[in-house]
Amino acid sequence: MQKKFLKNLIFLLFLNLLVKPFWILGVDRQVQNVVGTQDYGFYFAVFNFSYLFFIFLDLGITNFNNRNIARNNHQPKEHFGGMASMKLLLGLAYGVLVFLVAWLIGYRGRQLSMLAWVGFNQFLLSFILYLRSNISGLLLFSYDSVISVMDRLLMIGIVGVLLWTGVAGGRFSIEWFVYSQTAAYFITACFALAVLWRKSGRLSMRWDFSFFKMILRRSFPFALLVLIMSFYSRMDSVMIERLLPFPLGDQQAGVYAQAYRLLDAAQNMAYLFAVLLLPLFSKMLKENKPVSGLVRLSFLLIMSGAVLVAVSAQFFAHDIMQLM
């Protein structure tokens, strides 16, 4: 298993290190420079507000499903219909909840319009993650690795054309950036669904409320973990934008976003380990195989990377922020 883990980790890291630095430095940063710190901060605050409620799109289903599929490879076809139907219901509930809370805290006009698109993008992202949980649960890590960077690759292409060719006409706006995300997520979701369809056979929707109740009960521990992590990592920019008067709140949220994109990228590197380790651990535990060797290896790799990033950020903080 360690050999399988290292082989797929190298491929996954290679793809992400190939695509995501160009995305962060070449596209995401350029979008902020073009639209301005205030407009980007406005988007960043709305995005993080929508992310605070991301757990209601999932309720731990993705992590639970990933572990379950790794242990029982025959289940994607059996459970897909029920879980996909549940995701649609959760999407509707998420939309109502997000708009209700947004209205209560004072979101109006352009903020609500942006929230509608960003919220829909969150639903598409949640569905992609659910599809990926099936694919990685089947230990099809090469497909999952490609899908993990596909949305960013598409965004590089779409936003690159809009930024550097002027095909959109006029000034590039932050709304175009959000529309590009929608297109990229939709194409990625279709591709992931096609891969799962090919590997698992015909898939269909199924409404079964007793099944919904059973899955939600079992996935609750995963939901609680994700909820706490979401509030811990995404509350900052929302508080900055809400506590400071307009337009200072949007401007300072944009400044915060400049540094946060690097933190987010570093956290995503650690997340890549989890994508591989959860199904591998689940399968090994089901087969009563020892996991201590894989735990030691992954811990050493993650800690080495974390120390390297922390030390680099400490000594080259000014240079890094100048790059942003």
Q: pLDDT tens digits for the chain (324 residues)?
A: 667 777 888 888 888 888 888 888 888 888 888 888 889 889 988 998 898 888 888 877 887 777 777 777 656 666 777 778 888 888 999 999 999 999 998 888 889 999 999 999 999 999 999 898 888 888 788 888 899 899 999 999 999 888 887 776 667 889 999 999 999 999 999 999 998 888 776 666 677 777 777 777 777 777 777 777 777 777 777 788 788 887 788 888 888 887 787 777 777 777 788 778 878 887 788 778 888 888 888 888 888 888 888 888 888 877 777 766
Written as six digits, the tokens of 313 are 């950020």
- Separation between Cα atoms, residue 238 and residue 253, nearest integer Å: 8
Quote the pLDDT of residue 115: 94
Per-residue burial over 122-160, b = 16 or more CB atoms within 10 Å of its CB, e = otherwise: bbbbbbbbbbbbbbbbbbbbebbbbbbbbbbbbbbebbe
Quote the pLDDT of residue 168: 63
pTM of the model: 0.82
For 311, the domain range is: 2-323
Quote the pLDDT of residue 204: 66
- Residue 1 is which amino acid? M
Q: Which of 86, 59, 98, 108 is nearest to 219 (CA)?
A: 59
Cα 89–Cα 184–Cα 129 angle in degrees, nearest 5: 45
250, 241 Cβ separation under 8 angstroms: yes
Quote the pLDDT of residue 153: 93
Give the count of domains, the chain: 1
